[in-house]
Structure 1
Amino acid sequence: MANDIDIASLAAELRALISRLKRRLREQGSVGDLTPSQIAALRRLDRDGPATVSNLARAEGVRPQSMGVTVAALEAAGLVAGAPDPNDGRQTLISTTPLCVEKLARGRAARQDWLARQIVNLSSEEQAQLAAAADILRRISES
């Protein structure tokens, strides 16, 4: 029964399991020898589109100087490029390069493939339970 469940313990266990799953997924789709802040910046650019260093810094909660160092390293690696902002020529918009887009896509595919292989190894009953749990987790994440 729901009354017999220790909600706080369940929440703690789910948080720990989701964190561990995120780590495992990250391991599967590595984008090379990038730092977590570099990966975060690339994913933000990939998801939200071109941005100034200042806007990227604000979105990631870091100082513009720190983001400037991050962006410089990504530029040196050929993963991002700057271009004048068409709305304000004084600003530079940073965007991902085709090389970066390809690497990100390969990483996503590797994570997807790894997870699919893990799910295939489950019994039909476990797969059905996982599908039901995914629906519940979706509802929680959207609330």
Structure 2
Amino acid sequence: MSDLTESATMLRMLVGKLGRRLRESAPAGELTWSQLAVLGHLVRDGAMTVTQLAAAEGVRTQSMGTTVAGLLAAGMVAGDPDPHDGRKTCYRPTDLALAVIAASRAMRDDWLIQTLETRFSPAEQQQLIETLPLLQRLADH
């Protein structure tokens, strides 16, 4: 196995493990992880239809409809007629959802900052900071 293959495997595993650690640092509360993912899309990308959300999450439209219905019932999203096709509904996050997402992000950021400060030397912290543009390029590909 080549060094690049081994490194790719290790990077995939480490990114997965870090993602799990971050999720553990900010419990979902009353929402499912699927619902939080949908809210994340709406906050980042703006209002979307169920079909657009399903495509973004890689799930069936029917499954996304169930997820969105739960968010509607919880007061986390509101629907407006699609400006391009009034037969469709575009969903947007409510103020309550924005507060939940902000709190979740703050908890994850706090965990990450605390971990970096307590487990890494200043030189190691700088090394990690210097790799961020490379990881961004990888994620954007």
**Equivalent residue number for residue 64 of structure 2:** 67
* Gap runs ≥5 in structure 1: none
Is residue 35 of structure 1 aligned with residue 27 of structure 2?
A: no
Amino acid at match of 1:129: Q
Secondary structure in 2 aligned to 1:111?
A: helix
**Quick one: structure 1 residues 55 and 128, their matched pair in 2 at CA, closer, same or farther if it must change by over 3 Å?**
closer
Question: Which segment is superposed worse, 39-48 or 24-33?
Answer: 24-33
Instruction: After TM superposition, give the deviation of residue 18 of structure 1 in Å.
Output: 1.2
Is residue 12 of structure 1 aligned with residue 9 of structure 2?
A: yes
* Gap runs ≥5 in structure 2: none
Identity %: 49
Q: Based on CA coordinates, which of the two structures has the bigger radius of gyration?
A: 1
**Quick one: structure 1 residues 135 and 64, their matched pair in 2 at CA, closer, same or farther if it must change by over 3 Å?**
closer
Q: Give the Cα separation in 2 of the matches to 1:128 and 1:54.
A: 42
Instruction: After TM superposition, give the deviation of residue 80 of structure 1 in Å.
Output: 0.8
Q: Give the Cα separation in 2 of the matches to 1:88 and 1:129.
A: 49
TM-score when normalising by structure 1:
0.84
Amino acid at match of 2:122: S
**Quick one: structure 1 residues 133 and 87, their matched pair in 2 at CA, closer, same or farther if it must change by over 3 Å?**
closer
TM-score when normalising by structure 2:
0.85
Q: Give the Cα separation in 2 of the matches to 1:86 and 1:124.
A: 50
Q: What is the aligned counterpart of 2:115 among 113, 118, 127?
A: 118
Q: How many residues align?
A: 139
CA RMSD of aligned residues (A): 1.9
Give the 5 Å matches for 1:88-107: 88-107=85-104
